[in-house]
Amino acid sequence: MLKKIAFLLLLIAPMSVFAQKFAHFKSMDIIPVMPEYAKAQTDIQTMQKQYEDEIKRASDEFNKKYAEYQQEQKNLPQNIQERRQKELQELSEKGMQFQQDAQQQLQKAYADMMEPIYKKLEDAVQAVGKAGAYTYVFDLNRTDIPYIDEAQSKDITNDIKTKLGISLTAVPATPAAPAATPAQ
């Protein structure tokens, strides 16, 4: 009896696999055309410019003080030279620390700005997935799936764009993450 049940399950299992529906999409065809993404890019570029301007101002200040020190160095007593060298060293260290802090702040701001965009995309994917009764929906830009059989999986990128209210002819914004290091 147990063998008959197991045999019956083996016959039914493949049929249930054929009844499953699979879909896929490409998030990088959707995210760059989202209005929220364009605003996030503008905001991050503005912030990056502010940090670059401050880094340049601090660098100019350091260069000016260093040039003054080099001109006066020969005429200064040893203890004043040491004090000025220490001031220049501290100024240089503060500049490097500010650059690191600025980079971390830019990365955090970028992640914070992108989080609601990813959430909105995820909600749209779930809605389209439920409406289409798909068993699985794969993002081909975020997973390492080496092969998709187009006959077995439907591309729902345009369906997701429609769900998000994005024109199917929208031109993507140029994707730009914060620079690895602000201007040095």
Specify the pLDDT at position 144. 82
pLDDT given at position 66: 92
Sign of the CA dihedral running 66, 72, 74, 75: negative
Amino acid 181: pLDDT: 43
In the DSSP assignment, the letter for residue 73 is: G
Q: How far is CA 180 from the centre of its chain?
A: 12
pLDDT of residue 183: 42
The span from the first CA to the last CA of the chain, in angstroms, equals 77
Instruction: Name the β-bridge partners of 24.
Output: 138, 155
Phi-psi region of 165 (alpha: psi -120 to 50; beta: other; left: phi over 0): left
Would you mind telling me the total number of residues written for the chain in this entry?
184
Q: What is the pLDDT of residue 182?
A: 41
Query: Position 14: which residue type?
Result: P
What is residue 146's predicted lDDT score, i.e. its pLDDT?
Answer: 81
pLDDT below 70 — which residues of the chain?
1-19, 170-184
Residue ranges of the domains in the chain?
11-164
Identify the CA nearest to 102 among candidates 58, 57, 50, 63.
50
**Which residues, at least 6 apart from 173, have a Cβ–Cβ distance to it below 8 Å?**
32, 33, 37, 38, 41
- State the burial class of residue 172 (Cβ atoms within 10 Å of its Cβ: 0-12, 13-18, 19+): middle
Q: What percent of the chain has pLDDT over 70?
A: 82
pTM, entire model: 0.71
* Two tokens, residue 141: 């830009």
Tell me, what's the pLDDT at 145? 80
